[in-house]
Chain A
Amino acid sequence: MVGGRWSVVGAVPITVHRSPTTDHRPLTTDMILTGPEAWFFWLLALTALMGGLFTVLSRSAVHSAACLMITLIATAGLFLLLHAEFVMGVQVLVYVGGVVVLFLFVIMLVNVREEPLSQARLFSRQWGFAIACTVLLAFAFWLAIRLSDPYQNLRPREELATVSESVAYNPQGATPVSKNSENVGWALYTQAALPFEIASVLLLVAILGSVLLARTQRQEQLAEHEEERS
């Protein structure tokens, strides 16, 4: 069945392919995960929140890095839940495999002077002001979310239909490889070809910059001597 309907966001006609076995359920106007998907959302969301909280609060920087890694892996699980398999892979490879390991390396390089951990101040002197700003930001977000979807509670329960029924229905049967990666790759090289090239230049500049920054005084002097000699 192909149905047209007007969404709450604006004049967007909706065309949804539906499975013939569940055609009796009405169409939904929102992304709704039910059943096991919803339980996994709660599990991953709580893990991510706890990891983020302990990233900020833990005393040792190594513990912070470990908690950050937990948060990033939980977020990758959420991406999988949202059918964004390619971004999930990129998240695990780049963030967990690259950035967190880089953090651990820098912690190893920097924490040479072992200061007594229990005596060091964790927060800056302006922590009261910082917490006030944070609470203000949280209030602003709460207000924005509260105002953005006033019809959320008014929607009757009969309109619930799961995402897998509303979109992922494929009459030819499931594809062996994730369709998402193929689609994202296609969009990356057609829709976003110029930003892709700019990102590669950015990465080149970042490589050069980090090499330049990580040079020691002695290496710089050696390089200058080489220039003078030649």
Chain B
Amino acid sequence: MILDLIPAAEPSQGYLWSFFDVSTTTTKFLILSSLLFVIGVGGVLARRNIIVIFMSIELILNAVNINFIAFTRHWQTLGRINEHTGELFAIFVITVAAAEAAIGLGIVVSLYRNRETVAVDEIDLLKW
């Protein structure tokens, strides 16, 4: 492979540069998943549309799944070849996310029937 010939960055070049290193370690998967998690939290906190808030929750759960799979692979690389705990966790997270989406969207539909809105700052009967 031609891409194999591209050298990895020197580790002595510092922390910031090592993030742009062409090789990929577990830490980079963690950085990616934390960035996705932060984007999702920002969406949950700042958006008005309740459907987009649900989508941001899915983003958060997805980021957690990346962590689970990356750590499973990490342990497999360290020699525990039959390690699948993280994948099991990811499967259950996906199951719970599907159930949560079904229930949440059912709530959204019945809410829209009653209040004619999907903006969360107009649904504040329980707030004050």
Contact = CB atoms under 8 A, between A and B. Distances in A.
Interface in A143-161: 144-146, 148-149, 152-157, 160
Nearest to B81: A167
A225 interface: no
Interface in B51-69: 51-52, 54-56, 58-59, 62, 65-66, 69
Contacts, number: 289
A136 to B, nearest CB: 10
Interface string A113-145: 100000001111111011101100110011011
B30 to A, nearest CB: 6
Interface string A7-46: 1010011111000000000001111111111110110010
Given A30-B26, A141-B38, A152-B25, A206 B103 contact: yes
A32 B24 contact: yes
Interface string B44-56: 0111110110111
A102 B102 contact: yes
A87 B90 contact: yes
Contact of B41 (A123, A137, A213): A137
Interface residues on A, range: 35 or more
A134 B58 contact: no
Contacts of A68: 55, 58-59
B125 interface: no
B97 A99 contact: yes
Given A84-B73, A110-B109, A145-B27, A52 B59 contact: yes
Contact of A124 (B85, B106, B121): B121
Given A71-B62, A209-B106, A122 B32 contact: no
Contacts of A34: 4, 8, 22-24
B99 A202 contact: yes
A216 B78 contact: no
B95 A199 contact: yes
A157 B8 CA distance: 8
Nearest to B35: A49
Nearest to A161: B77
Contact of A41 (B8, B28, B39, B76): B28
A106 B111 CA distance: 12
Contacts of B12: 153
Interface of B: 1, 3-4, 6, 8, 10-12, 14-15, 18, 22-32, 34-43, 45-49, 51-52, 54-56, 58-59, 62, 65-66, 69-70, 72-74, 76-82, 84-85, 87-88, 90-92, 94-103, 105-110, 112-113, 116, 118, 120-121
Interface of A: 7, 9, 12-16, 28-39, 41-42, 45, 48-49, 52-53, 55-56, 61, 64-65, 68, 71-72, 75, 78-79, 82-84, 86-87, 90-91, 94-95, 98-99, 102-103, 106-107, 109-110, 113, 121-127, 129-131, 133-134, 137-138, 141-142, 144-146, 148-149, 152-157, 160, 163, 166-167, 180, 183-184, 187-188, 191-192, 195, 199, 202-203, 205-207, 209-210, 212-214, 216
25 contacts: A48-B32, A49-B36, A55-B43, A56-B47, A64-B52, A64-B55, A75-B65, A82-B29, A82-B70, A83-B76, A87-B65, A103-B55, A106-B51, A121-B48, A123-B47, A124-B48, A127-B46, A141-B34, A152-B15, A153-B18, A191-B84, A191-B85, A206-B102, A213-B107, A213-B109
